[in-house]
Structure 1
Amino acid sequence: MHIAGQLNWINELPAPARDAIRNRFVYRDLEPGETIKESGQPAEGMYQVQSGYIKLLADRPDGEQSLLLIYIRGNSFGESTLIARRPHHHTTIAASPARIGFLKQNDFDELYRTYPSIPEALCRKFATALSSMIAYREKQNETTVAQRVALVLRNLAEMSETPQIGGRRAIDIPITIGELSSFLGLTRQTVQKEISLLKRRNLISKSQGAWTVLDMALLRTLAPAEDVPDLLT
């Protein structure tokens, strides 16, 4: 149940290709809630998170939005729209104060043709995403609701940029019960019930809208590590 992952394909490139991309980035600072791109908009370039957190949202038939993923530092998005020459399928917004790097389509196309390591790295990223989506579906059928909620909380804690102090680790990724519910495909009431049980076991707490895992070792016992790749699109 990976809602966030550490995949950074740009950083894995040979230095000449990596530096060529970074030299052409245009940087933009974002406030929480600020929209980066909307579903249906034409693709203009690709993005990489430099700091903060970005949420990927899907439009639902009822007019609401579901949380699909959270991008963390180093994650990139928007490449598939450039390659496929299609509009964006999803909306991305800043979940916290954030900074992103933006690579225009013309620059992306030129670098994609110039450095063979770029299409190779993107091919690995897309293959990883496909494998992860299949594994995610399989995992849903093999785990209880309690395990699914615990797995997401563990993932959020481990992807946060906060140090673990003793057994405690604060989750600095902003997320609500409603967003957890939409990501897991569960009702808000179901997720709230599981959260309440974890609170009563002194496993998690919430203060001023931020979650803290009080016992990471116990949470890892309840939510064993998944042997699946990170889910990133």
Structure 2
Amino acid sequence: MHDPDIPASTPRAWHEVLNGDAWFAQCPAELREALQHLGRVQRLGAGEALFERGQAAEGLACVLEGALRVGAVQGDGRATLLAFLEPGQWFGEISLIDGRPRTHDAVADGPTVVLRVPERALRGWLAEHPAHWQAIAQLACAKLRMLFGVLEDIAQLPLEGRLAKRLWLEAHGWGARSGPPRRTLRLPQEQLALMLGVSRQTANKALRALEARGLIHLRYGSIELNDLAALAAAAGLDSPAA
């Protein structure tokens, strides 16, 4: 996990980022060590693609700094945004498991650093340590459970409730953060609107409604979360931890 272009003092912070992810922190020590040993650091400039839709699978990856927008441009030119990945979030497990091409584009939202664990090297290591495929499957299952939750929200929650839940989940890293939730989200309204499948104006109206209730405070390019418990209540979550 070494890049000669990056100061030697930086990797220590990266280890903290990796260990702040609940999935990685709960992996067996042998797997954690392998992912870091096999991993290679890649730096991206704003708007640079880590991979594109249809590209061959290239193993697991984790954001170390910055953020990635995961989505696609449809045939009619409309952009869709599936996820906004920030430091500590792992991805790529689906293609690792089924060997099929990438389903979406992953583009850097500003300067970004990613840890990439090459497909061939990781598959080779897992062939020698097959018990650790279970941890990879657990990462995929966690994403699948989140997807089911999102589909249920679309069917049952009004936009304001869906927005409150999305903000609460982002603060908690979609259940991946092992540390305290983030109180400030670097999430532009345009990106948030794309994730919710609504116009920016519609998303802004719902955000303003939450702000009027004192739950959030809107800033340029970011959202401050004033009351996580109230956000959870607005989202219909049952007594979640703040």
TM-score by length of 2: 0.76
Alignment partner of 1:151 is 2:165: yes
1:227 Cα offset (Å): 9.3
Q: Secondary structure at the match of 1:88?
A: coil
In structure 1, the residue matched to 2:78 is 64
Change (3 A) 1:227 1:88: farther
1:96 Cα offset (Å): 4.1
Do the aligned partners of 2:69 and 2:85 also contact (CA within 8 Å) in 1?
A: yes
2:151 to 137, 145, 155: 137
In structure 2, the residue matched to 1:183 is 195
Alignment partner of 1:220 is 2:232: yes
Alignment partner of 1:115 is 2:123: no
Do the aligned partners of 2:93 and 2:140 also contact (CA within 8 Å) in 1?
A: no
CA distance in structure 2 between the aligned counterparts of 1:226 and 1:70, rounded to whole angstroms:
25
How many percent identity over aligned positions? 27
In structure 1, the residue matched to 2:58 is 44
1:7 Cα offset (Å): 5.7
CA deviation string 1:107-165 (max 9, x = no partner) = 0111121112321112222233223322321222221221111112223334499988x
Do the aligned partners of 1:17 and 1:117 also contact (CA within 8 Å) in 2?
A: no
Do the aligned partners of 2:160 and 2:210 also contact (CA within 8 Å) in 1?
A: no
Change (3 A) 1:185 1:110: same
Alignment partner of 1:30 is 2:35: no
Change (3 A) 1:32 1:155: farther
For structure 1, the 5+ residue unaligned runs are: 1-5, 229-233
Q: Equivalent residues in 2 for 1:163-178 (5 A)?
A: 169-171=183-185, 173=186, 175-178=187-190
Q: Secondary structure at the match of 1:39?
A: coil
Do the aligned partners of 1:52 and 1:98 also contact (CA within 8 Å) in 2?
A: yes
For structure 2, the 5+ residue unaligned runs are: 1-19
In structure 1, the residue matched to 2:92 is 78
In structure 2, the residue matched to 1:198 is 210
Change (3 A) 1:163 1:78: closer
